[in-house]
Structure 1
């Protein structure tokens, strides 16, 4: 016997799916007609602007009020520019500049691009306060380590996005910035009392609620004092008592991807995770990136079963579907996005570059890029100075812990060395590599990740870009005098 059509449609109205490839498959459009809330587009769905616009038009043909979401944070997390790197700096750079109006302008520009392509929801900004230098998943996605500064810029980002008619989704509630584990792979724990969260992690969320943010995304993190043994995504104390009752949020609560280990392992699968998230107060359930029709139907069936066996109250699911429908129906100002200043992102990235020490080493350098892995959130996006360097600038690559410093000394000869890395302070073998080179050559370190307290012994200069976007790389090359 099939699902009750009314209950199936109700369940589908709480789900945000995804599909593979540049062309929406028939099932992705058909499920929208059946009531599916929408889809998230990932890098695999993005080839060029015309193709993305055609995709969103095809999806909207399934149902006009579909939610079309994307993770477009600027900086290190970009889907539209995954092939080249974002033309905008990310949050850490904007926080370093500390000009809220600039933050608003950058996010308005991002929102304008999304709106022009038919996208309606940006799963941004990240408003986590990055208080842990070792944080493997937030880092440069954060506006900084100071709650007040992060709050101001978070509100500015929301205002910018929504001024372009694209709904903003602040993430990751109640704060992912103090974690030293990645919730894509495990369930991180933040073992602090609620009073610490209110002082350290929650001010940015209060600010975005006041700014009228349309959506808030949950974090797959465990805060034992509030969530017990499970993640915040499954915690009514977090999603209802804290977010709605204490902070007054009335928009849609969106889950982080339920396929992530921080949720799926805790619940015993994506279907049970969906039931638990809805019961806790979530409204729109992001299934993840690896989705097909069978998985959507499985999750919908589990929600319907949850209503039948008492794990879910039907009224709760109706409330969730109603909030999701309200998010889908929201539209921004009729006058559309404001004009964008030429080279806005590059100019912003240039303002963010911070130099410590002396950049005047004589001679054209050897530019060495140290290999760094990417997180699932970032994806494999090009980074570094390479695309911005003239052909006559010598370049090399190194792997920390594997490349012999003597090999790089031989390549450098009498030239100074510019060593470019991401999160060098926590990359095994990177500190030793840098300091071994600095013992024999003038070395300038360009840190394109989160700049921690560590500074390499013997280095002539330390340059922090606060991100590794295309704009950040171009700005660093300019400051170093390697390009006009």
Structure 2
């Protein structure tokens, strides 16, 4: 049976799609003309500012109220600067700086960058309270582990972004900070009571709502005491009873990418996840990164069929489409606010560097940067002092030995740099043994743990690995460089 064109258009109004490449394919423009709300950009859509401005103009030629979203968090998650690393420190570093005025400035600078290229919805800030040190997907994307401090910085970030006409999206509701698995790959579980959620995870979302955040993103996590065995994205208890009714949120609820395992595998498919999200109270469905015209058509047709069959109430989809349209209307004219100092990010990153112990003063260290895998959220983005200092040695820690490291150093100290160094027992043992035998400084650029190699002369934490964080670390390791 053919899909009702009116219902298909209604379904498209609840979708954020994606497309490959740095120009919009014909089908992407056609879908906008058919009613699609907008697109999410990823690194593969971004070459440079001029190209991105032309791309957003292409989309606005198809429909001037298009929503154009991007994950631009600063720090370790950047799309605008995926080729170089972000010029801004991320949330963990801003939390350490502990000055909400700086956080507001950094997010205003991010908003200025987005507005100048025509992007009007930032899927940021991440407002999860990172209470699990080995959280594999949040970490340095979080402002910290204290709910009150995270809430303060959340309000500042929302204000800074939205001053530029770029809509903020606080994520990931009701809180991804206590998870120890990645919802891109599986369905994480958080065993917390509603009282624990209200005390630990929800204050930043309350602060985002109070600050006027235009959207909030759902988390593909199970909180049995709240959501039963469903992820929050499929839970009306989370999205309607808690977020809408108890916390009073009136903006758009956006899903995390439905292609993620926490949603698609739970529901059985992306179209099935779309139905369940809308039924639960979501308004704008982020399909994901691997999207083509066929998938968008499949999702829209499945939503239309669900309305026809009675599986999905039409008024619920109309409500979702109206909220998506309201968000698009608010964000229709992003406009850079007052310009900020070009070195704003670097200065903030410098303030976030913490050093315990004594750095060597007799000779500049030989810097060894241990390779580390990136999360799906981060992608492959340059990081670390390599590129900021001459002579940095890149090594896979699995192939490094104590003798090799000592030979590299010669009569100079060693500086061993990595991300999440404590997570691999072999890497930990290697560093501890080297530090026993040779003057060694260790620099951690991920979320810091309590591990400290006993014999290291100094331990440095940068609280992130962006371009700004990396430059700040380089200035500490080689002050005269």
The answer for the alignment partner of 2:418 in structure 1 is 421
Whether the 8 Å CA contact 1:46–1:80 is kept in 2: the answer is yes
User: Once the 2 structures are TM-superposed, how far is the Cα of residue 428 of structure 1 from its aligned partner?
Assistant: 4.1
- Say whether the 8 Å CA contact 1:95–1:149 is kept in structure 2: yes
**Contact residue 120 and residue 332 of structure 2 kept, 8 A:** no
Output the CA distance in 2 between the equivalents of 1:361 and 1:371.
27
Map residues 221-370 of structure 1 onto 2, 5 A cutoff.
221-331=221-331, 336-370=336-370
Match of 1:467? 464
2: CA distance, partners of 1:173 / 1:335? 28
The alpha carbon displacement at 1:386 in A equals 1.2
Is it true that 1:204 corresponds to 2:204 in the alignment? yes
Shift of 1:403: 1.7
Tell me if 1:129 matches 2:129: yes
Q: Distance in 2 between matches of 1:39 and 1:285?
A: 11
Structure 1 residue 331 displacement after superposition: 3.6
Q: 1:120 to 1:333 in 2, by over 3 A?
A: closer
Distance in 1 of aligned mates of 2:425 and 2:181: 16
Question: Per-residue deviation at 1:483?
Answer: 4.3
Other structure's SS at 2:182 match: coil
* CA displacement, residues 323-350 of structure 1 (integer Å, 9 cap, x when unaligned): 0000000048997411111300001101
Q: 1:401 aligns with which of 393, 398, 401?
A: 398
Contact 2:365 2:477 in 1 (8 A): no
Pairwise mapping of residues 44-55 of structure 1 onto structure 2 (< 5 A)?
Answer: 44-55=44-55
Residue by residue over 1:117-137, the C-alpha shift from the partner in whole angstroms, topping out at 9 and shown as x without a partner, is 000100000000000001000
Aligned residues: CA RMSD: 1.2
Q: CA deviation at 1:482?
A: 4.3
2:161 aligns to what?
Answer: 161
CA contact (8 A) 2:166 2:334 kept: no
Of the structure 1 ranges 306-315 and 6-15, higher mean CA displacement relative to structure 2 is found in 306-315
Instruction: Give the corresponding residue for 1:150.
Output: 150
Partners in 1 of 2:331 and 2:288 — Cα distance?
25
Question: Which residue of 2 is the match for residue 450 of structure 1?
Answer: 447
Matching of residues 68-217 of structure 1 within 5 Å? 68-217=68-217
Distance in 2 between the 1:53 and 1:481 partners? 38
Q: Is the 8 A contact 1:405 1:433 kept in 2?
A: yes
In the alignment, the residues of structure 2 paired with residue 376 and residue 298 of structure 1 have an alpha-carbon distance, to the nearest angstrom, of: 25
Map Cα deviations across residues 61-113 of structure 1 (whole Å, 9 max, x no partner): 11110000000000000000000000000000000000000000000000011
Q: Return closer, same or farther for 1:304/1:208 CA change in 2, 3 Å cut-off.
A: same
What are the ranges of 5 or more consecutive residues in structure 1 without an aligned counterpart? none
Q: Secondary structure at 1:296's aligned position in 2? A: helix
SS in 1 for 2:176: coil
Task: Give the Cα–Cα distance (whole angstroms) in 2 for the partners of residues 395 and 352 of structure 1.
Answer: 22
Deviation track 1:359-394 (CA, whole Å, cap 9, x = no partner) reads 1242232111111100000000000101111x3xx3
Is contact 1:477–1:483 with CA below 8 Å preserved after alignment?
no
2:22 aligned residue: 22
1:449 Cα deviation after fit: 0.4
Higher deviation after alignment, 234-243 or 394-403: 394-403
Distance, in Å, in 1 between the alignment partners of 2:480 and 2:264 is 47
Rounded to whole Å, the distance in 1 between the matches of 2:158 and 2:453 is 37
CA distance in 1, matches of 2:67, 2:263: 23
SS at match of 1:75: coil
Per the TM alignment, residue 206 of structure 1 is displaced from its structure 2 partner at its CA by 0.3
Cα–Cα, structure 1 residues 335 and 62, in superposed 2: closer, same or farther, change >3 Å? Answer: closer
1:14-66 deviation line (CA, Å, top 9, x unaligned): 00000001111010011000000100010000001000000000011111100
Q: Which residue of 2 aligns with 1:12?
A: 12
Q: Which secondary structure does the structure 2 equivalent of 1:401 belong to?
A: helix
Q: What residue ranges of structure 2 are gaps of 5+ in the alignment?
A: none
> Which of 458, 477, 482 is the matching residue for 2:474?
477
